[in-house]
C-alpha cells in the first residue's frame, strides 16, 4: 500500500530505496527480527492500538471495518494523538514508511494510519 508519501510495508521485507523514515507502528517487537535487520528510523509504540482492541480484532478480515473505526477513536486519546501528530510531521517532511509485522498489511493498524496520514 502506498499513498503519496506514506507507505505501509511489512517490517520483515528488506528496506527499500526511497522508504524514507521507516517507523515500526506495532506495540510488540516482531519475532525473530533484530534491530539491525529492521533498519528502523524509530519505533512509535504509543500510536499502536490497545492490547484489548488488537486482541479483539485478531486480524479477522470480517472485523477490519469495525477495528478501523474503533482504532480511529483510540487515536483521539492524548498519548496516541500526540504520536499521530508526530507521524504527520514526519510525513509532511518526506517519505514515511509505516512498518508492521502482520501478515496482511492491507488490513492492519498501519493501513488505518496510512489512510489517515496519506
**Distance between CA atoms of 33 and 80, rounded to whole angstroms?**
25
Cell of 87: 507521524
Structurally, the chain folds into a number of domains equal to 1
Domain containing residue 62: 2-117
pTM equals: 0.93
**Distance between CA atoms of 102 and 32, rounded to whole angstroms?**
13
pLDDT per residue as tens digits for the range 29-88: 999 999 889 999 999 999 999 999 999 999 999 999 999 999 999 999 999 999 999 999
**Distance between CA atoms of 9 and 25, rounded to whole angstroms?**
11
Query: Please, which pLDDT band fits residue 118 given cuts at 50, 70 and 90?
Result: confident
What is the helix (H) or strand (E) element at residue 109, kind and residue range?
helix 109-117
Amino acid at each position: 500500500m502506498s499513498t503519496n508519501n506514506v507507505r505501509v510495508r511489512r517490517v520483515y521485507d528488506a528496506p527499500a530505496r526511497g522508504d524514507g523514515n521507516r517507523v515500526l507502528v506495532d506495540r510488540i517487537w516482531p519475532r525473530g527480527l533484530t534491530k539491525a535487520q529492521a533498519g528502523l528510523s524509530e519505533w512509535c509504540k504509543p500510536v499502536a492500538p490497545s492490547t484489548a482492541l488488537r486482541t479483539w480484532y485478531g486480524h479477522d478480515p470480517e472485523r477490519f471495518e469495525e477495528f478501523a473505526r474503533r482504532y480511529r477513536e483510540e487515536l483521539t486519546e492524548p498519548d496516541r494523538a500526540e504520536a499521530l501528530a508526530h507521524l504527520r510531521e514526519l510525513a509532511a517532511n518526506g517519505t514515511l514508511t509505516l512498518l508492521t509485522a502482520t501478515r496482511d498489511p492491507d488490513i492492519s493498524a498501519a493501513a488505518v494510519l496510512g489512510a489517515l496520514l496519506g
